[in-house]
Chains A and B, each alone.
Chain A
């Protein structure tokens, strides 16, 4: 059973009166508890694809269907946007707390969960800070905490670790994997970092621009925890890069 399936999805934007195809015939089935990574040149439609999946844009051809229910959107889809999109007038804590707005959690449970996820992304000391007082990477981590706190069944992440230094990046990749092991969650992660894709994902989609389409699907059939310097990863990386450039 799939968590969700994207079938023959195409999308175009109208730009200066002309129709410009952005996605062309995308097919993708994401299983429960599967991690899929998407890599591809800038502008090839990765963010657009995530927007279609999460339901922010209904203007496309093709179908996106959800496995768990007979409905057009999943009960719980979380999203980390490419930009952090924190509410500037709420503290970090207040921003994360928004994730529980549509739940029945008690105030105490909300507080516990908020501090748990802030701890996880290393922002425990900044719970009371406002977004303008954070660095770019810290803001991105706060946004990650907000999405994780939702404890979604499907988590879409758009370059979530892009603004982080390599040490922190690796730490958060491992945190993400441990969350993924604990909660049954399907993850789509968009990244520019092929190594990150290969370290995290069960499958890596390599996309191609103009119009955006899937060029190659690389199965990463390696057990976890993976070794970042595994020659098998290096081999797969060569294959991805060959397709990308």
Chain B
């Protein structure tokens, strides 16, 4: 008995590692590809700063920057700044994206609402978040509420546009089934509207978070007293370009990681919703 089982196992096991190996290989290949460009940049930077092409005042050496990064990590400055920034993003996103979702649902579902509110919304949305900054500074000062409002606006617009698109894209055939079965409003919402919109909601979340991230850094640079963006401004006023570069790197890496994770999540949701077969 045991031998027969073992023989069967061998047959199964033989193909499994091949598959794993192939997956591992493609993972490494893509990891290497991703790393090529940063490595080239790093080499160029290193050459430019050590060979004196650019003065160290403007472009500090990579190892100084690394040292600064480690110092900032050790004394908790970076963590504190990042925590402040992320809390702002979270607040702005929760407010902006949920309102954007509801608004998108409204103008996507109701033609009347769309003809009343749609044009105004699209006109206001065409003004970039930072275009609102001067007037909002006058209204709100440069306090916390300014940042939250800017971020909420940055999240609201993409979420509303995509949610409206999603609401218009609920398959008509499935809506007719709901009519024939006389589904209750709540069932209709949770078992038809939301699942049908799920891929759109996922894109909306991704887009609004990346919008929020970009706006946040700029807002903190222009009107901030803390956060990652402020840390970079502060470094520049001190002529500590190493701090600025650390800030840029952290922002870039975090932004990339955020986008990567959200893209993955979006893909999973798209698959799960069965929209692509």
Contacts and interface: CB of A to CB of B under 8 A. Distances in A.
B185 to A, nearest CB: 11
B183 A85 contact: no
Interface stretch (B10-18, B56-64, B136-144, B174-182): B174-182
Contacts of B275: 88
Contacts of A81: 173, 176-177
Given A85-B173, A88-B273, A132-B277, A102 B191 contact: no
B272 interface: yes
A98 B183 contact: yes
Interface string A93-126: 0100011011000000000000000000000000
B274 interface: yes
Is chain A's binding surface mostly helix, strand, loop or mixed? loop
A40 interface: no
B142 to A, nearest CB: 46
A54 interface: yes
Contact of B177 (A85, A102, A130, A132): A85
Interface centre among B176, B183, B273 (most CB of A within 10 A): B176
A90 B277 contact: no
Contact of A87 (B176, B192, B272): B192
A89 B181 CA distance: 17
Query: For chain B, what secondary structure do more than half of its interface residues adopt (helix, strand, loop), or is it mixed?
Result: helix
A101 B181 contact: yes
Contacts of A130: 274
B184 A85 contact: no
B183 A54 contact: no
Given A85-B174, A89-B273, A102 B182 contact: yes
Contacts of A150: 181
Contacts, number: 54
A83 B171 CA distance: 13
B187 interface: yes
B176 A56 contact: yes
Interface in A36-63: 54-56
Contacts of B182: 101-102
Contacts of A131: 274
B272 A89 contact: yes
Given A81-B173, A87-B195, A90-B191, A56 B274 contact: no
> Which one of A77, A78, A101 has the highest number of Cβ atoms from chain B below 10 Å of its Cβ?
A101
Contact of B195 (A56, A89, A99): A89
Interface in B234-251: none
A82 to B, nearest CB: 10
B175 to A, nearest CB: 10
Nearest 9 CB-CB pairings of A with B = A88-B274, A89-B195, A102-B182, A79-B180, A101-B187, A85-B173, A85-B177, A101-B183, A89-B273
Interface of B: 173-174, 176-184, 187, 191-192, 195, 198, 272-275, 277
Interface of A: 54-56, 77-79, 81, 83, 85, 87-90, 94, 98-99, 101-102, 130-132, 146, 150
27 contacts: A56-B176, A56-B179, A56-B180, A79-B180, A85-B174, A85-B176, A87-B192, A87-B195, A88-B274, A89-B198, A89-B272, A89-B274, A90-B195, A94-B191, A98-B177, A98-B191, A99-B181, A101-B181, A101-B182, A101-B184, A102-B181, A102-B182, A102-B184, A131-B274, A132-B274, A132-B277, A150-B181
Given A78-B180, A88-B274, 20 more contacts: A54-B180, A56-B180, A79-B180, A81-B173, A87-B174, A87-B192, A88-B275, A89-B195, A89-B273, A89-B274, A90-B191, A94-B191, A98-B177, A98-B181, A99-B181, A101-B181, A101-B184, A101-B187, A130-B274, A131-B274
